[in-house]
């Protein structure tokens, strides 16, 4: 899921790379491409509109960042807006102060409710809870048996009416299950309710009756992410008919376009709590809007880099370095400062791996690791301030002294001095990639 959307968003954003400045026309063109990508992924129209307006408004100059270049800024905005429509913060399950916590599941038949009941039960069991599964779908033949099979696989007890008593009363079953949970020390009750192939009044009324009887702490609307645009109308019908506190997306492993996932939260206002992505009980996890957004954007590494660049960024220092780079006045002292600033962002191998375009600079970057940088730092620290400011004076005898003092071979000092200008060139390129200097110096 999300592959096409991901590809299209990436290519829309790729067009911005290398631009020193973004014009309104650039922003409009990118917004247009993002809009098409979202519509093709079946995202609901009102959601697309809000999203695009936000992107345009924010990208058109409002936030001038010193740490990021324009393309990085737009990626950051798109990511933040994606996280926003997916719900922002991760929403955890609300547990009752006085157990048992009652969780009611509602949704269409085939949405994956019964499977989900088992997945959720197993998930909670792993966290140390003692859940009780409750079969309140007494309409569909086999629904009770299916829940019992799922419960057995999850290793969780199932509460169901005795067979042979005719069609039972789901409201009574729900009520009795809560009493049973209290006496048998179950701290969570998961109530599986009846679904229909389409929304109908009787189903809604039954679910609402169960809700009124057991007053759930959470009512989770279970929705098949493969049903596309219908997800939104179904969600609205359930919101109006039963009401729910959270959403569970199922079948995210399918090859559908994923619009449902991106629309449901924004349209209903209810947070997505869990996502299911397969038929096995293990194919299930808590839903994290930020992780989902970076998966959709397909730029996990780029986003990490952007975050780190912002954190490590020291404006004053970067401006000084930028002006020195542009006038060719950079000294070994500056080189050391810059190296320390870059290293604040994490192990150098990780950083280089995350750089778009690092592949093209492979030759210059070969052999650069933290060990190498440690030795470079030691050598520069072994120099006098005069030597650092003016590397040209570092003659043969100075080189031996520096090598002795910093515990390296003379060859390495030679190497450093000789490669200083080369390294300066590389720093210039890296400064551009990292956006240090806010794009002002990047291309000089
Ligand atoms: P219910 O009618 O809402 O209770 O839905 P079921 O739990 O019976 O699921 C309907 C079908 O969808 C079953 O064949 C499940 O195996 C399948 N299913 C449930 N969740 C997922 C999922 O996350 N991914 C996939 N691929 N199939 C799922």
Give, in order, the Cα–Cα distances in Å from 3 to each of 15, 154, 276.
19, 31, 17
Range among 128-137, 191-200, 290-299 with highest mean pLDDT value: 128-137
The tokens of 328 are what?
């060719």
Q: Is the pLDDT of residue 438 over 60?
A: no
Residue with tokens 């970067």: 318
Q: Does domain 3-89 have CATH number 1.20.120.140?
A: yes
Residue 250: the pLDDT is 94
State pLDDT tens for residues 63-73: 556 667 777 78
Residue 441: the pLDDT is 36
Helix (H, G, I), strand (E, B) or coil at 22: coil
Considering the domain 315-434, what is its CATH architecture?
A: Orthogonal Bundle (1.10)
Question: Per-domain residue ranges for the chain?
Answer: 3-89, 101-287, 315-434
* ipTM given for this complex: 0.98
C-beta of residue 222 within 8 angstroms of C-beta of residue 250: yes
Confidence of residue 336 (pLDDT cuts 50, 70, 90): confident
C-beta of residue 3 within 8 angstroms of C-beta of residue 227: no
Judged by average pLDDT, the poorest of 19-23, 81-85, 212-216 is 19-23
Confidence of residue 148 (pLDDT cuts 50, 70, 90): very high
Q: Average pLDDT, stretch 55-63?
A: 79
Q: Is the pLDDT of residue 350 over 70?
A: no
Q: Is the pLDDT of residue 301 over 80?
A: no
By CB neighbour count within 10 A (0-12 exposed, 13-18 middle, 19+ buried), where does 401 fall? middle
Q: For a substitution probing ligand 1, which of 107, 109, 115 has the most ligand atoms within 8 Å of its CB? A: 115
The tokens of 242 are what?
């039963």
Of 58, 122, 80, nearest to 297 by C-alpha is 80
In short, whether 251's Cβ falls inside 6 Å of ligand 1 is yes
More confident residue, 97 or 329: 97
In short, whether 279's Cβ falls inside 6 Å of ligand 1 is yes
Residue 81: the pLDDT is 93
By CB neighbour count within 10 A (0-12 exposed, 13-18 middle, 19+ buried), where does 212 fall? exposed
Judged by average pLDDT, the poorest of 175-184, 390-399, 433-442 is 433-442
Query: How much is the mean pLDDT over the chain?
Result: 83
Of 202, 201, 206, 199, nearest to 191 by C-alpha is 206
C-beta of residue 226 within 8 angstroms of C-beta of residue 256: yes
Cross-strand partners of 220: 105, 246
Cα 118 to averaged position of ligand 1 atoms, centre (Å) = 11
Cα 391 to averaged position of ligand 1 atoms, centre (Å) = 69
Residue 163: the pLDDT is 65
Report the C-alpha gap between 289 and 156 in whole angstroms.
29
Residue 121: the pLDDT is 97
Give the atom of ligand 1 at the shortest distance from the alpha carbon of 277: 23
Say which residues have a Cβ less than 8 Å from residue 93's Cβ, sequence separation at least 6: 101, 103, 218, 273
C-beta of residue 25 within 8 angstroms of C-beta of residue 32: no
Residue 61: the pLDDT is 66
Q: Taking phi first (over 0 means left), then psi (-120 to 50 degrees means alpha), and beta for anything else, what does residue 138 get?
A: alpha
In short, whether 278's Cβ falls inside 6 Å of ligand 1 is yes
Q: Is the pLDDT of residue 358 over 60?
A: no
Residue 421: the pLDDT is 67
Q: Average pLDDT, stretch 407-412?
A: 90
Cα 143 to averaged position of ligand 1 atoms, centre (Å) = 13
More confident residue, 151 or 168: 151
More confident residue, 256 or 126: 126
The tokens of 135 are what?
């079969």
C-beta of residue 156 within 8 angstroms of C-beta of residue 189: no
Confidence of residue 440 (pLDDT cuts 50, 70, 90): very low
Question: Sheet harboring 188-193: ordered strands across?
Answer: 157-159, 131-136, 188-193, 101-106, 218-224, 246-250, 272-276, 284-286
Which segments are annotated as binding site?
107-114, 192-196, 250-253
Q: Is the pLDDT of residue 436 over 50?
A: no
User: Quick one: what percent of the chain has pLDDT higher than 70?
Assistant: 79
Q: Average pLDDT, stretch 198-218?
A: 91
Residue 319: the pLDDT is 67
Residue 72: the pLDDT is 79
Which segments are annotated as binding site for GTP?
107-114, 192-196, 250-253
Cα 280 to averaged position of ligand 1 atoms, centre (Å) = 9
Going by alpha carbons, the residue nearest to atom 27 of ligand 1 is 279
In short, whether 119's Cβ falls inside 6 Å of ligand 1 is no
CATH homologous superfamily for 101-287? P-loop containing nucleotide triphosphate hydrolases (3.40.50.300)
């Amino acid at each position: 899921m999300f592959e096409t959307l991901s590809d299209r968003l990436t290519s829309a954003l790729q067009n911005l790379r290398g631009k020193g400045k973004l014009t309104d026309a650039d922003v409009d063109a990118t917004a247009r491409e993002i809009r098409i990508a979202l519509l093709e992924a079946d995202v609901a129209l009102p959601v697309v509109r809000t999203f695009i307006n936000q992107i345009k408004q924010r990208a058109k100059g409002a936030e001038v960042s010193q740490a990021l270049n324009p393309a990085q800024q737009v990626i950051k905005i798109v990511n933040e807006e994606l996280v926003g429509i997916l719900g922002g913060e991760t929403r955890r399950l609300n547990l009752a102060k006085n157990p048992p916590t009652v969780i009611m599941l509602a949704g269409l038949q085939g949405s994956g409710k019964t499977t989900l009941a088992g997945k959720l039960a197993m998930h909670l069991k792993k966290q140390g809870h003692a859940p009780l599964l409750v079969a309140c779908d007494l309409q569909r033949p086999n629904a009770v048996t299916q829940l019992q099979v799922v419960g057995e696989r999850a290793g969780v007890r199932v509460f169901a009416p005795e067979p042979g008593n005719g069609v039972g009363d789901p409201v009574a079953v729900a009520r009795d299950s809560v009493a049973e949970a209290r006496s048998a020390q179950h701290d969570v009750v998961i109530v599986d309710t009846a679904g229909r192939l389409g929304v109908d009044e009787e189903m809604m009324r039954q679910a609402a009756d169960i809700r009124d009887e057991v007053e759930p702490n959470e009512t989770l609307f279970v929705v098949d992410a493969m049903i596309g645009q219908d997800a939104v109308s179904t969600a609205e019908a359930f919101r109006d008919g039963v009401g729910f506190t959270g959403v569970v997306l199922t079948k995210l492993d399918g090859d559908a376009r994923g619009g449902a996932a991106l629309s449901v939260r924004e349209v209903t206002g209810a947070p997505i709590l869990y996502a299911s992505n397969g038929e096995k009980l293990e194919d299930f996890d808590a839903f994290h809007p930020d992780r989902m957004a970076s998966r959709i954007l397909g730029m996990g590494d780029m986003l990490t880099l952007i975050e780190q660049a912002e954190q490590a960024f020291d404006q004053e220092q970067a401006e000084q370095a930028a002006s020195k780079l542009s006038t060719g006045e950079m000294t070994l002292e500056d080189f050391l400062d810059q190296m320390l600033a870059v290293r604040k962002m994490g192990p150098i191998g990780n950083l280089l791996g995350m750089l778009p375009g690092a592949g093209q600079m492979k030759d210059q970057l070969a052999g650069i690791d933290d060990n190498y940088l440690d030795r470079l730092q030691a050598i520069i620290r072994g120099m006098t301030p005069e030597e650092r400011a003016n590397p040209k004076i570092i003659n043969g005898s100075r080189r031996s002294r520096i090598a002795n003092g910093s515990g390296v071979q003379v060859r390495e000092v030679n190497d450093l001095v000789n490669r200083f200008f080369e390294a300066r060139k590389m720093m210039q390129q890296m400064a551009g990639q990292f956006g240090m200097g806010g794009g002002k110096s990047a291309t000089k």
